[in-house]
Amino acid sequence: MGYRFLGDVMMVLHGAFLLFFVIGGFLAWKWPKLIWVHLGIVVWNLTIVILDFDCPFTGTEKYFRREGGEAVYEGGYINHYLDGTIWPEGETPTAEKVGFALVIIGYIGYFVARRRRRQRVGTPA
């Protein structure tokens, strides 16, 4: 299995991880047990943003790319792949705020759906 392929796999996994970060709270409306996985990912992302350290997904992708003979990009995954592509260049802090706002909205909806589900079953909230 080639290092370049592994670099691509890490890039896709990282993207899926970030996508789940944004929509996982909404998915938990339908599949409530997902909330625990999502909560772990939220804590992970908050830690990376607040403490401003390199994500191991990025480091692993860069390692595989380097081993595969590719030039490694500067900075992080979000700045390389998403900044200027998904949102305007330089607006990553705004995109992070929107992402965290979506997490909060997803959690509010999760708790509303959970409460309604309990009321339908007749269990006290």
Residue-level pLDDT at 122: 67
d(CA 69, CA 11): 16
Q: Can you give the pLDDT at residue 125?
A: 54
pLDDT value, residue 11: 96
The pLDDT, as a whole number, for residue 36 is 95
Cα-based torsion angle of the residue sequence 98, 77, 28, 114 in order, rounded to the nearest 10 degrees = -40
CA distance 80 to 103: 23
Mean pLDDT in consecutive groups of 10 residues from the start of the chain, 125 residues = 92 95 94 94 88 90 94 90 91 91 95 87 63
The pLDDT score that the predictor gives to residue 117 is 82
Q: What is the pLDDT of residue 116?
A: 86
CA 9 vs. chain centroid, Å, equals 16
pLDDT of amino acid 121: 77
Nearest-angstrom CA–CA distance, 24 and 32:
10
> Residue 2 region, left (φ>0) first, then alpha (ψ -120 to 50), else beta?
beta
Q: What is the structure's pLDDT at 54?
A: 85
Q: How distant, in Å, are the alpha carbons of 57, 84, 116 from that of 17?
A: 10, 20, 29
How far apart CA 112 and CA 91 sit, in angstroms, is 32
